[in-house]
Amino acid sequence: MVQFISLSSGSNGNCYYIGDGVRGILIDVGIGARSVKKRLLQNGIDVNSIVMVLVSHDHFDHIRSLGTFTERFKKPVYATDEVLCALEHHYCTAGYMKGCTHALRPDVENDIDGILVTPFRVPHDAEDTVGYHILFNGERFTFMTDIGAPTDAAVHYASLAAHLIVEANYDVDMLMRGSYPPELKRRIMAGHGHLSNEQMALLLKRCWHKGLKDIYLCHLSENNNTPSLALAAAREALRELGVSESEVNLKHLPRREASELFSFLPPID
- Give pairs for 150-156: CB < 8 Å, separation 24+: 150/195, 150/199, 150/200, 150/202, 150/203, 150/206, 151/122, 151/123, 153/107, 153/120, 153/121, 153/122, 154/120, 154/122, 154/203, 154/207, 155/203, 155/206, 155/207, 156/120
DSSP codes joined into one string, 154-188: HHHHHTT-SEEEEE--B-HHHHHHSSS-HHHHHHH
Taking residue 48's Cβ as centre, other Cβ atoms within 10 Å add up to 12
Q: pLDDT tens-digit profile of 143-170? A: 999 999 999 999 999 999 999 999 999 9
Q: pLDDT tens-digit profile of 89-124? A: 999 999 999 999 999 999 999 999 999 999 999 999
Domain membership of residue 264 (yes or no) is: no
Running DSSP on this structure, what letter comes out for residue 223? Answer: T
Domain range for 137: 2-257
What is the pLDDT confidence band of residue 255, given thresholds at 50, 70 and 90? very high
CA separation for the pair 251, 4 (Å, rounded): 13
Q: pLDDT tens-digit profile of 197-254? A: 999 999 999 999 999 999 999 999 999 999 999 999 999 999 999 999 899 999 999 9
Of the candidates 202, 238, 234, the residue with the CA atom closest to the CA atom of residue 217 = 234
Q: pLDDT tens-digit profile of 26-48? A: 999 999 999 999 999 999 999 99
pLDDT value, residue 245 = 87
What is the pLDDT confidence band of residue 268, given thresholds at 50, 70 and 90? low
Domain membership of residue 267 (yes or no) is: no
Indicate if the pLDDT at residue 72 is higher than 70: yes
Query: Do the strands 77-80 and 101-104 form a parallel or antiparallel pair, or are they unpaired?
Result: parallel
What is the pLDDT confidence band of residue 267, given thresholds at 50, 70 and 90? low
Tell me the CATH number at 41: 3.60.15.10
Q: pLDDT tens-digit profile of 187-197? A: 999 999 999 99
Strand order in the sheet with 262-264: 101-104, 77-80, 50-54, 24-27, 15-19, 2-8, 262-264
- Give the global pTM: 0.96
Of the candidates 102, 139, 101, 143, the residue with the CA atom closest to the CA atom of residue 119 = 143
**Could you give the maximum distance between any two Cα atoms of the chain, in Å?**
56
Domain membership of residue 128 (yes or no) is: yes
Domain membership of residue 262 (yes or no) is: no
Mean model confidence pLDDT for the chain? 96
- Whether the CB-CB separation of 164 and 212 falls below 8 Å is answered with yes
3-state DSSP assignment of residue 64: coil
Q: pLDDT tens-digit profile of 175-184? A: 999 999 999 9
What's the total number of domains in the chain?
1
Taking residue 88's Cβ as centre, other Cβ atoms within 10 Å add up to 13
Q: What are the CA-CA distances from residue 264 to residues 94, 111, 163, 199 (Å)?
A: 37, 22, 10, 28
What is the mean predicted confidence (pLDDT) over 8-16?
Answer: 97
Query: Do the strands 130-136 and 139-144 form a parallel or antiparallel pair, or are they unpaired?
Result: antiparallel
Domain membership of residue 269 (yes or no) is: no
What is the pLDDT confidence band of residue 127, given thresholds at 50, 70 and 90? confident
